[in-house]
Amino acid sequence: MAGIYLHIPFCKQACCYCNFHFSTSLKLKNDFLNALKQEIVLQKDYLKGETIETIYFGGGTPSLLESHEIQDIIEQLKQHHPIIAHPEITLEANPDDLIQTKLKELRQSPINRFSIGIQSFSEADLQYMNRAHNVEQAYNSIRWSQEMGFDNISIDLIYGTPTLSNEQWLKNMEISFNFDIPHISAYGLTVEPQTALDHFIKTGKRTPVDDEKSRQQMLLLMEASQKARYEHYEVSNFAQKGKRSQHNSSYWLGKKYLGLGPSAHSFNGTSRQWNIANNALYIKALKKQQINFELEELSIQDQYNEYIMVSLRTSWGVNLSKVQNEFGPSYLQHILSTVPKYETAQKLTIAHNTLKLTSLGILEADRISSDFFV
């Protein structure tokens, strides 16, 4: 089983913290859609017979597409890729796009899951991040989606913004729980180099991010989600029973996936490749029935490091038998020699031949993972 990710590289406006590939101009949209359909055909053998169980429209802002454009893409996928009868098909959406008329159209499409970029139920936070929607639109996007029969909904929340108090953060979570949202992805605000937020902070136009505040709010999130009976199954992801993101879980389980669209990444088990992050050059290549991409063959060391990176972030952890059998005894010994300092600090545990982070370890997941790399 495998997944397909489609990168839709358009947004109404730029969120100041975002470092994903996108354009705020829609003038190349039709050319892009034609190129994407061509890439779907050219990449029909990339996964070599793997059956597709998940399709994910990401971006950018995929909800900018018309419903019929989304359906055309899905039909093209069905014609050239083996897809199971009822795949999980997720559409990332901004709240201001999910108006009632759009939702009625999408209800007739194969889309069966939304990932809505709420980010916050506070106007001050949304303004700090330069989001295109307001709080009322955030509420309406959830309410109208549920009324229209979409029951598999995930929302994104961001914590750690200078405008977000602990009280408001608890309120954001309470609102989410009261809506009975099945899945929540929550991310600490990070200042990526060369983003608008990075520039604003350096020039004194935005208040810097407080790492200790982010840490406190992550702890509040873990405590509140546990009380609300959400499974904390990945560092940034929380789900009601049976509502994990199947698509994102496939990444963390090391399954193969095909990425389509500019900047999209693909993984076939032994190599990784990524398309050029330039809309015009992406389109130009596909007009010639070519794909402009870079390729990286993954060594055993690369594959081990990647397994550690993704697995240690999850509730199922690192399987030490898998490390022994697939990577060899030297890799297992490296893990076992690194464990004691974190086990003593109560940041990870070993039980049933599995290595897992504790709540304290989750707060330092990236740093701890890097210590286990070879």
β-pairing verdict for 2-8 and 257-260: parallel
**pLDDT tens-digit series, residues 296-338:** 999 999 999 999 999 999 999 999 999 999 999 999 999 999 9
In the predicted model, residues of the chain with pLDDT beneath 50 are none
How far is it, in rounded angstroms, from Cα 318 to Cα 247? 20
pLDDT, residue 86, reads 96
Helix orientation angle between 29-42 and 67-80, rounded to the nearest 10 degrees: 20
- Sole residue written with tokens 């759009």: 102
- In order of start, what are the domains of the chain with their CATH numbers? 2-251 (3.20.20.70), 300-374 (1.10.10.920)
User: What pLDDT score was predicted for residue 326?
Assistant: 96
Contacts of 373 (CB under 8 A, 6+ apart): 305, 308, 309
**Residues 129 and 16: beta-carbon distance below 8 Å:** yes
Question: Cis omega (within 30 of 0) on the bond before 60?
Answer: yes
Q: What is the pLDDT of residue 154?
A: 98
- Provide the 3-class DSSP secondary structure of residue 20: coil
Query: Is the CA virtual torsion 272, 276, 282, 287 positive or negative?
Result: negative
In angstroms, rounded to a whole number, what is the distance separating the alpha carbons of residues 279 and 215? 37
Residue 24 confidence (pLDDT): 95
Digit-coded pLDDT (tens) for 217-229: 999 999 999 999 9
